[in-house]
Amino acid sequence: MAREARVSTAVVSYVMNDGPRPVAPATRERVLAAAAALGYQPNRIARALRARTTGVVGLILAEAPNPYFSALGRHIEQALSRREKLTLIGNAGFSADRQESLVDRFLAAQVDGLVIVSADGGTDVAAAAEAAGVPAVYVHHQPAAANTPFVAADNRASVEVAIAHLRQHGHDHIAFLAGPDDRGPVRQRTEAWQGIVGSTESRLLRCEYTRAAAARMTRDLIAGGAMPAALITATDEQAVGVLAGAWGTGLSIPEQLAVISLDGTPDSAHTAPSLTVTQQPLQAMAQQAVDSLLDAAAPGEPVRATLVTRRSCGCADTTY
């Protein structure tokens, strides 16, 4: 390449990077022509070795096919891409072991940063990253002992608007579907619900964060005649499961059961019936996380979800 343009490698570097030294227009042309002719592209690996920065960021997702993580992941990838970063992806699969192993492998690959969208708070990943001098940011879920930057929606605010809206529909007893145990963002949501409705007359339901589990629970509840009239689900996955479980048992939503979910994934617009949600600004969250990571700045305040009324709460369906 350098000899094709009859210049030194240094000049090639100056041309490719627009600096740090000026290059005569004629020479620059010659280099550009040679590069085009040979299809030359700078080797990022060599550059990375020299510059001690790879332009690659590691993204760890709890489970990519989950619409919530998936949508968040795409926005993060896009935000990273806008900043000229490449995204290394890994699925932790709700396993602390896998998550740790991923971090190690990403660190060995010399990533410039780590974005962790996990659901399990098992390990404090940031420790390993910090030891390696690699910045990290948590999204959605912050492990107990972390003092690492953290981006999430205001969970309490979401619960507040959901409850307020169901009350407007005339519901006094509002049940809550939480996860199998109290951890992470769902814990905050659960506590917010408990704080607002009080322990009297309130019903706390629990099941795994899967459609299948929520559907099974719903059928059991209906069979036992124990289904409440209004329900807030901690996640969209569970809400979709509730809808699936209710269908076919003759329980009609929203007439017999009003439902609001707290994630607000794009998919929630096209369930049957369409799902009323508190919609988290996933793109803004992704942007916030990426900016905070790359600019080494503390992220701003938690963003607020907005209520999107559809059919499942009892409102008219305005989706179409």
Partner DNA sequence: CTGTTAGCGCATTCAT
Partner DNA sequence: ATGAATGCGCTAACAG
Rounded to the nearest whole angstrom, what is the least distance from the CB of residue 160 to a copy of itself in the complex?
28
Question: Are 267 and 241 contacting, i.e. CB atoms less than 8 angstroms apart?
Answer: no
Question: Are 210 and 219 contacting, i.e. CB atoms less than 8 angstroms apart?
Answer: no
Rounded to the nearest whole angstrom, what is the least distance from the CB of residue 79 to DNA in the complex?
24
Number of residues that bind DNA (CB under 7 A): 28
Residue 79: how many other CB atoms lie within 10 Å: 24
> What x-and-dash track marks residues 141-180 binding a copy of itself by CB under 8 A?
----------------------------------------
> What x-and-dash track marks residues 6-45 binding DNA by CB under 7 A?
xxxxxxxxx-xx--xxxxx-xxx-------------xx--
Rounded to the nearest whole angstrom, what is the least distance from the CB of residue 275 to DNA in the complex?
49
Pairing of strands 113-117, 56-61: parallel
User: Considering only 27-35, 76-84, 164-172, 192-200, which stretch makes contact with a copy of itself by CB under 8 A?
Assistant: 76-84
Residue among 17 and 319 whose Cβ is closer to DNA: 17
Provide the angle, in degrees to the nearest 10, between the axes of the packed helices 282-294 and 67-82: 50
Residue 161, binding choice from a copy of itself, DNA, none, Cβ under 5 to 8 Å by partner class:
none
Burial 172-203 (b: 16+ CB within 10 A, else e): eebbbbbbeeebbbbbbbbebbeebbeeeeeb
Question: Are 68 and 117 contacting, i.e. CB atoms less than 8 angstroms apart?
Answer: no
Q: How far apart are CA 210 and CA 248, in angstroms?
A: 19
Chosen residue from 1, 2, 32, 86 binding a copy of itself by CB under 8 A? 86
Residue among 15 and 163 whose Cβ is closer to a copy of itself: 15
Query: Is residue 88 involved in binding a copy of itself (CB under 8 A)?
Result: yes
CA distances from 52 to 16, 63, 111, 133, 290 (A): 18, 31, 10, 12, 20
Query: Is residue 48 involved in binding a copy of itself (CB under 8 A)?
Result: yes
Q: Which of residues 111-170 bind DNA (CB under 7 A)?
A: none
Query: Is residue 127 involved in binding a copy of itself (CB under 8 A)?
Result: no
Pairing of strands 276-279, 306-308: antiparallel
CA distances from 117 to 37, 60, 139, 194, 290 (A): 43, 6, 5, 26, 12
Query: Is residue 53 involved in binding DNA (CB under 7 A)?
Result: no
- Alpha carbon 193 to chain centroid, angstroms: 22
Residues that bind a copy of itself (CB under 8 A): 39, 41-46, 48-49, 54, 56, 59, 63-65, 67, 70-71, 73-74, 77-78, 81, 86-91, 104-110, 131-132, 211-212, 215-216, 219, 240-241, 243-248, 266-267, 269-274, 311, 317, 319-320
> Which residues of this protein are in contact with DNA, per CB under 7 A?
1, 6-14, 16-17, 20-24, 26-28, 42-43, 46-47, 49-52
